[in-house]
């Protein structure tokens, strides 16, 4: 199927989203909606930014890496999936965990609290762009700090959409936005899942719990039903995989809830080593990096299938 997408000029576009042209102009340049410079807007893009309907108009894919269980490989997969994707695409990694594990691998200095930007509990929200750091070519990081742990109680309806709102102006600047989620079910995770287009679930193959997978499955279903119909499940990635034997039964158990990626991430000592040295994986172990390139290729394939 070709792209049958209606094009609007500025006036038509303003009318389509129900704003007067002046307000519309301010809003699109503020949000950097694709077309804000040329004055020509795709209907599908407007629909996405202004939420008139649910379509895939963005040029970025937001992927939440999520599992409420600790130590499953969320941060590891976020880091090296982002590194692999950044070889060919512009990538933003959002550290959305108060533990700030990903942040501490890249930054030694103090970073401002993400909470200063979000507009929570009566604070005014601020443009998030100045908080972003470039860590490598095509690879930007939105750092986290411990204060994110204060995001616990929704006081207003909007408090579920703080992250979604914060990154809206960034969406046109990146092809992939990866969110490293915390090991908990709560407002922080809900913000990530409401912001995301896709979810990827790392599962540690050695000590794995079907109950945990069922809980996460139920959370995802709830979010899809109530708050984010766009959210699509990319699937589960088996991590720390060590041999063929255990895999069949395990994958069967997981498959009751999630599709399972063909790519499995092997258990490799170079992974904790790269993290201890605060180094990129490609600089430490090219074989393991290839494993994440395969994962990146499969992620892109799955996203393309979902989009078409």
| Binding residues vs ligand ATP (CB under 6 A) | 70-76, 97, 99, 101, 183, 239-240, 265, 267-268, 271-272, 275
Question: How many helices (DSSP H) and strands (DSSP E) are in the chain?
Answer: 13, 9
| Among Mg ion, ligand ATP, none, partner that 18 touches (CB below 5 to 8 angstroms by kind) | none
Instruction: Report the nearest approach of ligand ATP to the CB of residue 141 (Å).
Output: 15
Strand partners, 260: 236
> Is residue 204 involved in binding Mg ion (CB under 5 A)?
no
Binding mask 100-119 for Mg ion (x = CB under 5 A): -x------------------
CB of 108 to ligand ATP, least distance (A): 19
DSSP codes, 65-89: E--SSTTSSHHHHHHHHHHHHTTTS
**Which position has the token pair 């590194």?**
83
Closest CB to ligand ATP among residues 119, 212:
212
CA distances from 59 to 7, 17, 47, 81, 260 (A): 16, 19, 13, 18, 26
Stretch that binds Mg ion, among 33-41, 93-101, 111-119, 152-160 (CB under 5 A): 93-101
Q: How far is the CB of 188 from ligand ATP (least distance, A)?
A: 12
What is the number of the residue whose Cβ is closest to Mg ion? 75
- Least distance from C-beta 107 to ligand ATP, angstroms? 17
Residue whose CB is less far from Mg ion, 95 or 140: 95
Q: Tell me the residue length of the chain.
A: 308
Tokens of 228: 């984010």
Q: Name the minimum Å distance from CB 91 to ligand ATP.
A: 17
Question: If binding is defined by CB under 5 A, does position 75 make contact with Mg ion?
Answer: yes
Cβ contact 104:145 at 8 Å: no
Nearer to ligand ATP, 72 or 140 (CB): 72
The CB density around residue 253, as the number of other CB atoms within 10 Å, is 15
- 293 contacts Mg ion (rule: CB under 5 A): no
Instruction: Please report how the helices 10-17 and 21-31 are oriented relative to each other, as an axis angle in degrees rounded to 10.
Output: 90
Which SS3 state, helix, strand or coil, does residue 43 take? helix
Q: Is 68 in the site for Mg ion (CB under 5 A)?
A: no
User: Which uninterrupted H or E stretch holds 128?
Assistant: none
Q: For residues 61 and 101, which CB has a smaller minimum distance to ligand ATP in the complex?
A: 101
Q: How far is the CB of 74 from ligand ATP (least distance, A)?
A: 3
How far apart CA 38 and CA 199 sit, in angstroms, is: 33
Site of interaction with Mg ion (CB under 5 A): 74-75, 101
């Amino acid at each position: 199927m070709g792209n049958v997408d209606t094009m609007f000029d500025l006036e038509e576009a303003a009318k389509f989203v129900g704003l007067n042209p002046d307000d519309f102009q301010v809003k699109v340049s503020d949000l950097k909606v694709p077309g804000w410079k040329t004055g020509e807007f795709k209907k599908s893009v407007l629909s996405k930014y202004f939420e008139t309907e649910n379509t895939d108009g963005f040029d970025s894919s937001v992927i939440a890496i999520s599992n409420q269980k600790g130590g499953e490989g969320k941060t590891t997969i976020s880091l090296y999936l982002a590194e692999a994707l950044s070889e060919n695409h512009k990538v933003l990694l959002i550290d959305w965990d108060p533990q700030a594990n990903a942040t501490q691998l890249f930054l030694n200095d103090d970073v401002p609290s993400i909470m200063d930007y979000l507009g929570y509990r009566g604070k005014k929200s601020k443009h998030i762009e100045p908080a972003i750091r470039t860590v490598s070519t095509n690879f930007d990081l939105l750092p986290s700090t411990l204060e994110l742990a204060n995001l616990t109680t929704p006081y207003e309806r909007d408090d579920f959409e703080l992250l979604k709102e914060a990154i809206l102006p960034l969406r046109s600047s990146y092809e992939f936005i990866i969110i490293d989620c915390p090991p908990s079910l709560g407002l922080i995770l809900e913000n990530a899942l409401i912001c995301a287009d896709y979810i990827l679930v790392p599962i540690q193959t050695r000590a794995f719990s079907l109950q945990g997978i069922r809980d996460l499955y139920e959370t995802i279903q709830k979010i899809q039903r109530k708050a984010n119909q766009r959210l699509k499940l990319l699937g589960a990635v088996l991590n720390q995989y060590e041999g063929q034997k255990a895999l069949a039964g395990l994958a069967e158990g997981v498959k009751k809830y999630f599709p399972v990626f063909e790519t499995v991430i092997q258990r490799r000592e170079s992974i904790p080593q790269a993290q201890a040295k605060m180094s990129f994986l490609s600089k430490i172990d090219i074989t393991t990096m290839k494993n994440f390139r395969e994962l990146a290729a499969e992620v892109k394939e799955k996203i393309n299938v979902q989009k078409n």
